[in-house]
Structure 1
């Protein structure tokens, strides 16, 4: 299993792949994209929620409706910011069923040549109206970590300081964080992962602050919130 480089220049390319800028040594791309040649490649998997868009939501409702989180009235619980239905990780049986589905995606990351996997929305319990817990998230993440390690992939903790004290039991190897400077979480992640942290900031003042305080200890990148590919209007990319 290849561990990520420490404090390596990083690019977050979830909105679409493009040739990484010079000096970039690590990149994160969606699982449907190809890895970037000769770099450390992290495979993005939306593991705790459905991908945004009606097509993904319909697929889950059609193929695995029993694994979509619903409230007491039977209504789908949705992450309103991104319009992503939450997946139901509330029971062992459902977690195991979901781990098989997501596990196939993780296998695909390994087959494609990625070095690591980044399962997103670990903190979906915060948007579940109390239907999911940190224990549920940790238990499901542990299944994903086992699957990733069995395929020779490192696995990242994506956001939330709530589970930092369980990182070793879960099996996380490094962290990918969004706005750790904005939320004042960089010290916690840096200490927990000994600098193996890729942080993405979306506001210039937060990026500048992160570079001043943490630029020599972790990797800090500035991106636009839609993570647009290079060449598209609105694309932003900077690194410390």
Structure 2
């Protein structure tokens, strides 16, 4: 059924002659963020985010996670072989918080086009697998580039990826770069996935641009005994999870919907 829904959405796009997908994001819905592995969603959940290597959640609005501006750990060598990693003194530049992820080099037109072409294949696979939308992570990677990349570099890649997703009937979610939400909304992003916006006091930056179309994840480790759900300006769709996004059979697993 999900495959048929995707086909009809894509057909509607072609008939309309535009690049916007023929669907509406389920803003305000309860969701789950399952990047650590797919499992039966908690009661009340209707939106689920899973990694691109996982299957969409049956019967749910399903979002496909893609690391669009940095490498997944298992894919770093193929990106380096293609000459698409940002390097400093001949060594790939890693994200300091995730040292097994390396920054993609969005600094030239040729590398941007090559990066977008590779990520476009992942977007296509998300569509074929039956996902409804994609989440593009690490839009803010330029801030970790030691000044070698700019937001404009990443924006150009984002434009290409948004068009690719929309042409396939998928909605597109912003991840990170909260301060650029309005500009990203303007180029076609449909919703946002906000990590720790309560903790970092930036939820309104997302909601001004996207209204109720914001999925917010807060991590217990950032709050101690405080309850992020008590924050008055948090997005309607806010959940609390454990930092490693573990599965329910793990003692560290935590899930709470605000």
| TM-score for both structures, normalised by structure 2 | 0.86
In structure 2, how many angstroms separate the alpha carbons of the residues matched to 1:199 and 1:186?
A: 8
Aligned match of 1:120? 137
Write the deviation string for residues 112-161 of structure 1: whole angstroms up to 9, x where unpaired.
Answer: 11010001100001111111101011111111100100110000111222
Q: Are the equivalent residues in 2 in contact too, given 1:139–1:170 (CA < 8 A)?
A: no
- Runs of 5+ in structure 2 lacking a partner? 1-20
CA distance in 2, matches of 1:32, 1:230: 19
1:79 to 73, 95, 99: 95
Counterpart of 1:26 (choices 39, 43, 47) is 47
8 Å CA contact 2:27, 2:212 repeated in 1: yes
| Structure 1 moving runs of 4+ over 6 Å | none
Change (3 A) 1:106 1:211: farther
Alignment of 1:29-48 (within 5 A): 29-48=50-69
Whether the aligned pair in 1 keeps the contact of 2:179 and 2:205 (CA below 8 Å) is no
| Counterpart position of 1:154 | 171
SS in 2 for 1:213: coil
* 1:209 and 2:231 matched: no
CA distance in 2, matches of 1:168, 1:219: 18
- In the TM superposition, 1:105-144 aligns within 5 A as 105-144=122-161
Matched residue, 2:236:
218
Cα pair 1:190 1:218 within 8 Å, conserved: no
CA contact (8 A) 1:41 1:114 kept: yes
TM-superposed CA distance for 1:7, in Å, is 1.1
Q: How many residues align?
A: 234
RMSD (Å) for aligned C-alpha atoms: 1.6
Unmatched 5+ stretches in structure 1 = none
Structure 1 partner of 2:17? none
Cα separation, 2, equivalents of 1:91 and 1:211: 44
After superposition, the Cα gap between the structure-2 partners of 1:28 and 1:211, relative to the gap in structure 1 and judged at 3 Å, is: farther
TM-score (norm 1): 0.93
Which has the larger displacement, 144-153 or 226-235?
Answer: 226-235
Contact persistence 1:190–1:197 (CA under 8 A): yes
Aligned partners of 2:198 and 2:231 also within 8 Å: no
Give the match for residue 11 of structure 1.
Answer: 32
Report the equivalent of 2:14.
none
